[in-house]
A and B are shown apart, each in its own frame.
Chain A
Amino acid sequence: MEYAISILLSGISVGGQYALIAIGYTMVYGILRLINFAHGDVFMVAGLMGIYFTSWLTSVMSPGAAVLCSLLLVIVMTVLLGFIIERVAYKPLRSAPRMSVMISAIGVSYLLQNTATYITGGQPMTYPSIPFLFDTVTVAGNNIKWAVLLTPVLVIILVLALTQLINRTKVGMAMRAVAKDFETSRLMGIKINSVISVTFVIGSALAAVGSILYFTNYQSIVPTAGAMPGLKAFVAAVFGGIGSVPGAVIGAFIIGICETIIKGLPSAWDVSVFSDAFTFALLIVILVFKPTGLFGEKATDKV
Chain B
Amino acid sequence: MLEKKSKKGSVIALVCILVILGGVILLENVSMFMENVPEVLRPTSQLFTVLKKGAVYSLVAVSMNLLNGFTGLFSLGQAGFMLLGAYTYAILTVPMASKDQVYYLFGGSAVKFSLPDLFAGVLGAEGVGGAVSMVLGVLIAMILAGLVAAFFAWLIGMPVLRLKSDYLAIATLGFAEILRAIFQWQRLGPITNGANMIKNFPTFSSFNIENSAGETVLRLSTFVPFLVAALCIAIIVLLINSSYGRAFKAIREDEIAAEAMGINLSKHKQLSFCISSFFAGVGGALFAMYSANAQAKGFNSTLTYEILLIVVIGGIGSISGSVIATFAYVACSEWWLRFLDTPTTFQSESSRTMFIAALAVAGIAITALLLLRARKKKGGTGMMAAACIPAVVFVGYDIYYAMSGAMEVPFLRTGFRMVVFSVIIMIVVLFFRNGLMGTREISDLFKPKAKKEAAK
Contacts and interface: CB of A to CB of B under 8 A. Distances in A.
B12 interface: no
29 contacts: A33-B166, A35-B166, A89-B430, A92-B430, A93-B430, A96-B433, A99-B74, A104-B426, A104-B429, A104-B430, A106-B308, A107-B429, A110-B305, A110-B309, A114-B418, A122-B414, A227-B301, A234-B170, A235-B170, A238-B170, A270-B185, A273-B195, A276-B181, A277-B180, A280-B173, A280-B175, A284-B160, A284-B174, A287-B160
B186 interface: yes
A104 B309 CA distance: 9
A121 interface: yes
Given A89-B430, A121-B414, A287-B171, A273 B181 contact: yes
B121 to A, nearest CB: 36
B165 interface: yes
A274 B423 CA distance: 35
A108 interface: yes
A301 to B, nearest CB: 8
B104 interface: no
B101 to A, nearest CB: 24
Closest 8 CB pairs of A and B: A280-B174, A277-B181, A118-B415, A114-B418, A111-B422, A288-B159, A277-B178, A283-B174
Given A114-B418, A118-B416, A273-B184, A284 B171 contact: yes
B171 A111 contact: no
Nearest to A106: B305
Nearest to B185: A273
Contacts of B429: 100, 103-104, 107
B425 interface: yes
Interface in A102-145: 102-104, 106-111, 114-115, 117-118, 121-122
Nearest to A103: B312
Contacts of A277: 177-178, 180-182
Contact of B426 (A108, A227, A273): A108
Given A107-B426, A111-B422, A284-B156, 17 more contacts: A93-B430, A99-B165, A99-B316, A100-B429, A102-B74, A106-B309, A111-B423, A114-B418, A117-B415, A117-B418, A118-B416, A118-B418, A121-B414, A273-B186, A277-B181, A280-B178, A283-B171
Contacts of B178: 277, 280-281, 284
Interface in B147-166: 156, 159-160, 162-163, 165-166
Nearest to B166: A35
B421 A114 contact: yes
Nearest to B165: A98
Interface string B378-415: 00000000100000000000000000000000000111
A291 interface: yes
Interface size class for chain B? 35 or more
A157 B312 CA distance: 42
A231 B361 CA distance: 41
A98 B164 CA distance: 12
A26 B414 CA distance: 36
Contacts of B170: 35, 234-235, 238, 283, 287
B111 interface: no
B343 to A, nearest CB: 12
Contacts of A100: 429, 433
A114 B419 CA distance: 5
A303 interface: yes
B298 to A, nearest CB: 13
A263 interface: no
Contacts of B316: 99
A176 interface: no
